[in-house]
Amino acid sequence: MTIQSQEMLLNMGPQHPSTHGVIRFVVKTDGEVMSEAMPDVGYLHRSIEKIGEICDYNGFMPYTDRADYLSAMNANQGYAMVVEKLLGLEVPRRAEFLRVIAAEFNRIISHLLSVGALAMDVGAATPFIHALKEREKVNDLMEALCGQRLTYNYVRIGGVSYDMPPNFSERCLDFLDRFEPQWDEFERLVSANKIFIERLSKVGTISREDAIAYNLVGPNLRASGVDYDLRRDIPYSIYPELDFKVIVGHGEQGEVGDSFDRYIVRVREIRESIKILRQCFSRIPEGDILAKMPKVLKPPVGEAYVRTESSRGDMGYYLISDGSAKAFRLRIRTGSFTGMAIIQKISQGMMIADLVTLIASLDVVAPEIDR
């Protein structure tokens, strides 16, 4: 008697606890070891780019929140910057500081969620809750600033919508003082855990060449050893004045570019964001928060492309104006899409449990993939 064997086709998603949103993978597996995981995108497509051609310029701002709802401030900022570039608008300095404060807070909570979810996906539920607890506190601060907790819609073309409420900077600095020891504790609980390190080191290693060839951006690119950060290399807003370090993966628990490097880069970027925030609060000038603007925005005919360093890396807005009140074409370029693309190559010959680690460590977020 011969025993027949065949590869098992496992459908992972779109509803699955560890794909973080509606992402689907078709996994070809032989028991625990899989030969390939094919990503399937498009479950969260909301035609945001097309909506950008239907709305007027100010009206599109809330939609940018939804383009990446875990890092809405960064998405806001990119869109405002591209329209300002077309208009040739000068943004008040205080507004620039407020934008950076909001964006860095948003980077902190986005990384918190990413790191917490990664810990959850390797089986530790407690770090996730601890990370979310801190995230809630930042959400409270953001609520005080702009009235929203997730989709902020804070940045306006030409500035920001609200000034800081009274005592805001004291509250924020107080939070940062409390947050830093909490974050040390988190690192003691997770980063030094032997099982956690074993689960992450040498898993899903992305080489420097692959990372560049597949156009990875942001923390994923830096984890592969490429020293590249838009905030420093193509500076925008007030980032040139601020002092911060670009974190690069060194492969301290295995190889350069493995899941642990991607994890540790995010953990350390949170500390850099804290540094940036402290500088911002000490230097923020008085002044207007919104530039003088016409009621209906009609940018001159032309095109512009703006790149910003979002939580998930290089977020680009490409805008063509035909001189009317609505954009002729809007295109958003996001980091998660390329992160999703590399999974098929890296996942060959992996174990099923490692696929989950890889997805979580790449921090792919469903709304950003599809838009």
Partner 1 sequence: MLIIVLKIIIPFLVIMQLLPLLIWLERKGAAYIQDRRGPNRAAILGVRLGGVVHSLADVVKLIFKEDIFPTNANKFIYTIAPFIAMAVACVTFAVIPWASPLEWKGSAFSLQAVDLNVGILYIFAIGSMGVYGIMLAGWGSNNKYSLLGGLRASAQMISYELTLSLSVVGVLIFAGSLELNTIVQNQGSNLLSWNVIRQPLGCLLFVVSAFAETNRLPFDLPEAEAELVAGYHVEYSSLKFALFFMAEYANMIVASALIATLFFGGWQVPFVSTETLRTYAQPIAYYSVLGLGLFSVAAGWFLVRRKHKVVYHDARDYETKVLGFPALLVGLALIAGQILYGPLPLGETGSQVAAAAFQFGAFLAKILFFCWVFIWVRWTLPRFRYDQLMKLGWRVMLPLALLNVVVTAGIYLWF
Query: Residue type at 288?
Result: D
119: contact with partner 1 by CB under 8 A:
yes
122: contact with partner 1 by CB under 8 A:
yes
8: contact with partner 1 by CB under 8 A:
yes
For tokens 């080489």, name the residue: 207
For the CB of residue 364, give the shortest distance to partner 1 in the complex, in Å: 15
Longest C-alpha distance within the chain, in Å? Answer: 85
Taking CB under 8 A as the criterion, the residue among 42, 123, 165, 287 binding partner 1 is 123
Closer CB to partner 1, 354 or 368, in the complex: 354
Q: At what angle do helices 335-346 and 352-362 cross, to 10 degrees?
A: 160
Stretch that binds partner 1, among 62-70, 127-135, 168-176, 249-257 (CB under 8 A): 127-135
Nearest to 191 by CA among 135, 270, 293, 87: 270
In terms of Cβ atoms closer than 10 Å to its own Cβ (0-12, 13-18, 19+), residue 58 is: middle
HSE-up of 226 (CA within 13 Å, CB side)?
Answer: 21
Nearest to 155 by CA among 88, 79, 92, 63: 79
Per-residue b/e over 141-162, b at no fewer than 16 CB within 10 Å? bbebbbeeeebbbbbbbbbbbe
Stretch that binds partner 1, among 73-81, 261-269, 312-320, 352-360 (CB under 8 A): 352-360
For the CB of residue 195, give the shortest distance to partner 1 in the complex, in Å: 5
Nearest to 80 by CA among 252, 266, 304, 296: 304
Closer CB to partner 1, 216 or 360, in the complex: 360
Nearest to 79 by CA among 43, 48, 104: 48
For the CB of residue 347, give the shortest distance to partner 1 in the complex, in Å: 13
181: contact with partner 1 by CB under 8 A:
no
Stretch that binds partner 1, among 15-23, 67-75, 137-145, 251-259 (CB under 8 A): 15-23
Closer CB to partner 1, 87 or 356, in the complex: 356
Copy the structure tokens of residue 221: 């690119």
> How long is the chain?
371
Copy the structure tokens of residue 61: 């701002």
Taking CB under 8 A as the criterion, the residue among 133, 188, 250, 292 binding partner 1 is 133
Query: Residue type at 1?
Result: M
196: contact with partner 1 by CB under 8 A:
yes
Stretch that binds partner 1, among 191-199, 218-226, 269-277, 323-331 (CB under 8 A): 191-199
Q: Within 10 Å of residue 172's Cβ, how many Cβ atoms?
A: 22
Stretch that binds partner 1, among 88-96, 113-121, 144-152, 231-239 (CB under 8 A): 113-121
40: contact with partner 1 by CB under 8 A:
no
17: contact with partner 1 by CB under 8 A:
yes
What is the distance between the alpha carbons of residues 219 and 229, in angstroms, rounded to a whole number? 9
Taking CB under 8 A as the criterion, the residue among 68, 96, 104, 121 binding partner 1 is 121
CA dihedral 258, 263, 265, 268 (to 10 degrees): -150
Stretch that binds partner 1, among 5-13, 154-162, 173-181, 215-223 (CB under 8 A): 5-13
DSSP symbol at 74: H
Closer CB to partner 1, 18 or 148, in the complex: 18
126: contact with partner 1 by CB under 8 A:
yes
135: contact with partner 1 by CB under 8 A:
no
129: contact with partner 1 by CB under 8 A:
yes
Give me the residues that bind partner 1 (CB under 8 A), please.
8, 10-11, 16-18, 31-32, 119-126, 129-130, 133, 189, 193, 195-196, 198-199, 351-356
